[in-house]
Amino acid sequence: MKIKHFLMGATCGFAVGFLAQAFLKNNQFLSSEDVIKKVKDALKTDGRISGSWIMTKPETLERNMITYHVYRGGITKLTDTEQINMEFLADAKTGTILEVEKI
């Protein structure tokens, strides 16, 4: 009987650990470094990125009755003819660019 109890306890522990890991992974934010890499890759299509910055802590933004956790940052891009400064908002969970504004 003791081996049955041990196996039942081990199985329950494994299941709880697996579910906890899945829950925590879904509620985690990407690091600001990962997000800035994604933004740079998306915005470097027609120029060279010469500088960038990003806030390290996400902030809460509400748009159209939807709450987002976003990173705020900026990019300086060099094209053949000019230097362009842009600020962006990127989703903290996915890294998707929500807004880009030239300054």
In this predicted structure, what is the pLDDT of residue 74?
95
User: According to the model, what pLDDT value does residue 39 have?
Assistant: 92
Give the pairing of strands 66-78 and 59-63. antiparallel
Give the mean model confidence (pLDDT) for residues 31-59.
91
- Asked if residues 69 and 91 have their Cβ atoms less than 8 Å apart, the reply is yes
Domain ranges in the chain are 1-29, 31-102
- The candidate with the shortest Cα–Cα distance to 83, out of 58, 49, 56, is 49
Q: Tokens at residue 10, please?
A: 């081990």
Per-residue tokens: 6: 């041990």
Span 31-102 CATH architecture: Roll (3.10)
Chain segment 7-43, per-residue pLDDT in tens = 777 677 766 666 656 665 666 888 999 999 999 999 8
pLDDT band at 1 (very low <50, low <70, confident <90, very high): low
Is-contact 61 89, C-beta < 8 A? yes
Please say whether the beta carbons of 39 and 90 come within 8 A: yes
Q: Residue 63 has what pLDDT?
A: 87
Check residue 88 and give its pLDDT: 95
Q: What DSSP element (H or E) covers 4?
A: helix 2-26
- CA dist., res. 76 & res. 86, Å (int): 6
What confidence score (pLDDT) does residue 75 get? 94
Q: What is the pTM of this model?
A: 0.70
